[in-house]
Amino acid sequence: MLLERKPYDASYGSRVLAEAFQPTLPYYFRTYRPHRLAYQASWLWCGIHDQEGNRYACLREWKTEYTLNVLVSKLDKDPQAVASRVYKRLNMGIIDFEMDQDQQVILVQPPFAPGAFHITVRPQHYQWKEADGELELDFRSLGPALKYLCPGEREDALYMSEFCRVTGTLQGRSVRGFGGMDCAFGTPGIGWIQGKIYSLLEKYWIVWANRYEDESIEYGICFDGEADFNSAFIVRDGRAKISDCTIRMEYFDDGFPRQANITMGDELYRFQTTARVSKIKGFMQWAHGEMTREGNEQKIVEKFSWLEFFG
């Protein structure tokens, strides 16, 4: 069961100040202090597929000194079926989370079982080995990343998200897809779970990427929630556009999101659920899907979308 969400109070602050940017190495590290805020957590995530059409959702979260949330989930073709786990047990617990300034790289791994998982982070390029190397993924940035500040009288928050092309192997099979890394920062003494984005403001967060027949890629992030907490970030032809966002969600009979009509500035999009990602107990939930833009007649040859929601 999710923690009960606290009631909204305008003194928390809900409006976001969003911008496109390119992270440098310190942005990914636990000692970075934007606007005097403190590091809370990072997430490496992706949706990948193999040549046989099998689809997977992967995620690992880490914080200053430990990692607790991780999954490699095989998606079902039935959007009303919950996905299965590829691995029932993956390494969780304390971590080494260090920066090598000479090599300009950040290393994340368990100190006593370094082969269990291993993450290296360089600006716009990260590599993730999981399950003793059975999952091995390479992330390369697609272009501008999103950063937003959400100030408030009670509490401030800053969030960044970078979108990537992902290639690699899973259990010996070649895989590819899209994914990225997110990092969160908040008022010192407030962790991600206690922070206002997770505990109060966020309702829906959607990321997506579409590759078209001419090899161009459009990608973006949109989110909506309590009061003024919303924004849309769209990158098309390498140029970023930021606007407001409204997400109107429709549900299956059991209350799981089925599809959404989304207004991003003067453009209309539709998200459609195609699979349910395996749940992490006590955390938010996810749906795998696809995003289309109204009036766009370009043929999509590769697509990815991931909906994060509270419910």
The pLDDT value recorded for residue 3 is 52
The pLDDT value recorded for residue 5 is 75
Would you say residue 45 lies in a domain? yes
Would you say residue 77 lies in a domain? yes
Residues in a beta bridge with 49: 55, 176
Distances (CA, A) of 44 to 12, 24, 253, 268: 28, 17, 31, 28
Domain of 173, in residue numbers: 21-309
CA angle (290, 294, 299) in 5-degree steps:
65
Would you say residue 13 lies in a domain? no
Would you say residue 181 lies in a domain? yes
The pLDDT value recorded for residue 1 is 42
Would you say residue 11 lies in a domain? no
The pLDDT value recorded for residue 38 is 98
Number of domains in the chain: 1
Would you say residue 2 lies in a domain? no
Which residues in the chain come in under a pLDDT of 70?
1-4, 311
Would you say residue 6 lies in a domain? no
Q: What is the residue-wise DSSP string for the chain?
A: -PPPPPPP-GGG----EEEEE---GGGGSTT--GGG-EEEEEEEEEEEEETT--EEEEEEEE-SSEE--EEEEEPPSSTTSBPEES-S----EE-EEEEETTTTEEEEE-SS-TTTEEEEEETTEEEEEETTTTEEEEEEE-SPEEEEEE--SS--EEEEEEEEEEEEEETTEEEEEEEEEEEEEESTT--TTTSHIIIIIEEEEEEEEEEETTS-EEEEEEEEESTT-EEEEEEETTEEEEE-EEEEEEE-TTS-EEEEEEEETTEEEEEEEEEEPPP-TTS-EEEEEEEEETT--PPEEEEEEEEEE--
The pLDDT value recorded for residue 84 is 93
| CA 230 to the chain's CA centroid | 16
Would you say residue 14 lies in a domain? no
